[in-house]
Chains A and B, each alone.
Chain A
Amino acid sequence: DIVMTQSPDSLAVSLGERATISCKSSRTVLSSSNNKNYLAWYQQKPGQPPKLLISWASTRESGVPDRFSGSGSGTDFTLTISSLQAEDVAVYYCHQYYSIPPHSFGQGTKLEI
């Protein structure tokens, strides 16, 4: 199985500053057949279910603010929040869907102000 490891486990960032979360996979999630990275990012606020932010490593979902961006390829990925807002306080998870199921999540990164 592919193991996803996020860093850091928790992160404190000031309002308006940049937040960067890393996600590394134990094997590549880049498909050679279509050159796509099978990697998604979710945001989970307290008491709520997760919400899809980004798919294919860098494709933002409709309605997701453009301060959220995803980058990376192969085994190393990053979620960046360019200017942190109070409503961005949450736990963020990466998710690989490259492998034949089971898929796997990172352990989560708690983002605080």
Chain B
Amino acid sequence: EVQLVQSGAEVKKAGESLKISCTISGYSFANRWIGWVRQMPGKGLDWMGIIYPGNSDTRYNPFFQGQVTISADISVSTAYLQWSSLRASDTAMYYCARLVGPQQLPWYFDLWGRGTLVTVSS
């Protein structure tokens, strides 16, 4: 069974750093794009960025470029999303999701994790 298991909810203060994870099982982690999607409270979905673990090719939404870092560790089949200095506006649910499509041009998300809720107090 294919699973995307995300790390647990986090409560942080503004200015702190954070790294959340998404651990994959049931398929070859290296050969499929993994993405991160933000959902702020009561709002829609924001496409943040994606990574191809096999070669660490990473594509960011310019809105999030420089604000977060997406990475992957093939040895533990895990993708990460990290912040060096959180803001209150980072409070949101963060989903990891697997993409369908070739390495050259990823397509849509076919499987989603259950989300990691990040709460940042000011």
Binding site for B on A (CB under 8 A): 38, 40, 42, 44, 48-52, 55, 61, 91, 93, 95, 97, 100-108
Cα distance A109–B115 when bound, in Å?
21
B113 interfacial contact with A, CB 8 Å:
yes
Identify which of residues 21-58 in chain B touch chain A, using a CB-to-CB cut-off of 8 Å.
Answer: 37, 44-47, 49-50
A105, B46: Cβ atoms closer than 8 Å: yes
A102, B114: Cβ atoms closer than 8 Å: no
Chain A residues closer than 8 Å to B61, beta-carbon distance: 101-102
Distance (whole angstroms) from the CB of B122 to the closest CB of chain A: 26
Chain B residues closer than 8 Å to A49, beta-carbon distance: 95, 97, 112-115
B100 interfacial contact with A, CB 8 Å:
yes
Cα distance A87–B100 when bound, in Å?
27
Distance (whole angstroms) from the CB of B72 to the closest CB of chain A: 16
Chain A residues closer than 8 Å to B62, beta-carbon distance: 102
Q: A40-B108, A49-B112, A102-B49 are in contact. List 16 more A-B contacts (CB 8 A).
A: A38-B107, A49-B95, A49-B114, A50-B95, A50-B112, A52-B109, A52-B111, A55-B100, A55-B107, A95-B45, A95-B108, A101-B61, A103-B47, A105-B44, A107-B44, A108-B44
In chain B, what residue has the closest Cβ to A102?
A: B61
Distance (whole angstroms) from the CB of A91 to the closest CB of chain B: 8
B115, A52: Cβ atoms closer than 8 Å: no
A101, B108: Cβ atoms closer than 8 Å: no
In chain A, what residue has the closest Cβ to B109?
A: A52
In chain A, what residue has the closest Cβ to B111?
A: A52
B19 interfacial contact with A, CB 8 Å:
no
Chain A residues closer than 8 Å to B105, beta-carbon distance: 100
B110 interfacial contact with A, CB 8 Å:
yes
